[in-house]
């Protein structure tokens, strides 16, 4: 007797997830992986020129995806994005806070401009808080809400000449712990993923010497690609992580080990 194989159902089938900074790079990789596992995804980004292409690429594969413009440094824009995502998806089960300013490197702490420092903090730290706060009621109503913040392993090893970014991601890690405790009563998990240096558009400015340092010091000695990080985000959004909260997962090929 020949058995017909059962169709594979994604572990995120039917989940409704908002991903910020999703028009390209890591954010798009996350959105794509979430869609591949069955989720309905809202891609939010400041880059209106890139967002339609990203959404079209996913819809072209018959995935459920919508695009929303957002400026996470603007509280009104953040609230509009959360409300739009809730309406478009019919609810919200997950939030991936990926939007960030990354181009703050190459200067020592004495040479960072105050305006750049403030911009990094507004987007990377305040934006993460504002978006999580705006989405909290919908995540609570879901009954299986999950939040993933994008941290960075730079905050775990103290990367030099990147002070504003490192400080912002250290704050994201601290917020992960505090938010996990505050939102636990809502049944919402809050975790962080801390990638190493990933080969994306946002890291093109990084000197070759820094890339070489990462590769040489990793247990897995190769460049890190966006898909290397996406699996951790999918896991944190899944039922397999329902009792995992307040954790920081370094995904960097063993460059930093806890």
State the catalytic residue, choosing from 165, 205, 214, 235.
165
Q: What is the pLDDT of residues 207-220, one digit of tens each?
A: 678 778 888 888 88
- Does 16-251 carry CATH code 3.40.50.720? yes
Length of the chain: 258
**Residue 91 pLDDT > 70:** yes
In this prediction, residue 243 carries a pLDDT of 98
Does residue 16 have a pLDDT over 80? Answer: yes
Mean model confidence pLDDT for the chain:
92
Residue bearing the bigger pLDDT, 54 or 8: 54
- Which residue ranges make up each domain of the chain? 16-251
pLDDT for res 10: 77
The answer to whether 165 is a known catalytic residue is: yes
| pLDDT, tens only, 110-169 | 999 999 999 999 999 999 999 999 999 999 999 999 999 999 999 999 999 999 999 999
Q: Does pLDDT of 2 surpass 50?
A: no
Q: What order do you get walking across the sheet with 40-45 strand by strand?
A: 65-69, 40-45, 16-20, 94-97, 146-150, 189-195, 248-251
């Amino acid at each position: 007797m020949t058995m017909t194989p059962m169709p594979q159902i994604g572990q995120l089938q039917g989940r409704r997830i908002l991903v910020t900074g999703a028009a390209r790079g890591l954010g798009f990789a996350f959105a794509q992986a979430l869609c591949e596992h069955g989720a309905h995804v809202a891609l939010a980004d400041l880059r209106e020129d890139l967002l339609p292409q990203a959404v079209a690429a996913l819809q072209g594969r018959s995935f459920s995806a919508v695009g929303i413009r957002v400026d996470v440094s603007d509280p009104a824009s953040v609230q509009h994005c959360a409300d739009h995502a809730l309406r478009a998806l019919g609810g919200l089960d997950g939030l991936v806070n990926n939007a960030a300013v990354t181009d703050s490197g190459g200067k020592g702490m004495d040479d960072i401009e105050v305006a750049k420092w403030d911009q990094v903090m507004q987007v990377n730290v305040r934006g993460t808080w504002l978006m999580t706060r705006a989405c909290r009621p919908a995540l609570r109503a879901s009954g299986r809400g999950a939040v993933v913040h994008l941290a960075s392993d730079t905050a775990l090893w103290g990367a030099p000449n990147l002070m504003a970014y490192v400080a912002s991601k250290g704050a994201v890690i601290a917020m992960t712990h505090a938010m996990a405790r505050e939102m636990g009563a809502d049944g919402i998990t809050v975790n962080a993923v801390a990638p190493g240096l990933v080969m994306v558009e946002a890291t093109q400015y990084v000197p070759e010497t820094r890339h070489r340092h990462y590769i040489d010091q990793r247990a897995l000695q190769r460049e890190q690609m966006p898909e290397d990080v996406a699996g951790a985000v999918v896991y944190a959004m899944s039922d397999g992580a329902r009792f995992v909260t307040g954790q920081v997962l370094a995904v960097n090929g063993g460059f930093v080990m806890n």
